[in-house]
């Protein structure tokens, strides 16, 4: 039961946190945040996978392709277990 309430709290924080609102994820600040989170990953394979997805997300962001940016960002998040 404790595990469930921790998860529920975590999800509530994600939902409420402006940093994790979908429309706010494709920006330099969040990219920096992602870089930091990926740098802390311990699984080398997943780390590389997440970094690759994030690179594609950054490339899409530079082109002004928010949908593409979100798509690759989502991939990176999934690899990171978010
Ligand atoms: Cu992200």
pLDDT value at position 24? 77
Q: How far does residue 76's CA lie from ligand 1's centre (Å)?
A: 7
The string of pLDDT tens digits covering residues 53-65 is 999 999 999 999 9
Pair 61, 69: CB distance under 8 Å:
yes
Pair 50, 79: CB distance under 8 Å:
yes
CA 82/CA 74 separation, integer angstroms? 9
Instruction: Give the environment of ion ligand 1: residues with CB less than 5 A.
Output: 34, 73
**Orientation of helix 66-80 relative to helix 28-39, angle to 10°:** 20
Q: How far does residue 7's CA lie from ligand 1's centre (Å)?
A: 19
Q: How far does residue 71's CA lie from ligand 1's centre (Å)?
A: 10
Mean pLDDT of 69-77: 96
Whether the model clears a pTM of 0.85, i.e. scores above it, the answer is: no
Q: How far does residue 4's CA lie from ligand 1's centre (Å)?
A: 24
């Amino acid at each position: 039961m404790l595990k469930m309430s921790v998860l529920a709290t975590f999800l509530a924080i994600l939902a409420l946190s402006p940093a994790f609102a979908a429309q706010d994820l494709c920006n330099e600040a969040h990219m920096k945040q992602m870089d930091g989170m990926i740098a802390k990953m311990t699984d080398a394979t997943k780390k590389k996978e997440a970094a690759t997805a994030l690179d594609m997300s950054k490339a899409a962001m530079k082109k002004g392709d928010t949908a593409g940016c979100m798509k690759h960002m989502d991939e990176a998040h999934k690899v990171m277990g978010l």
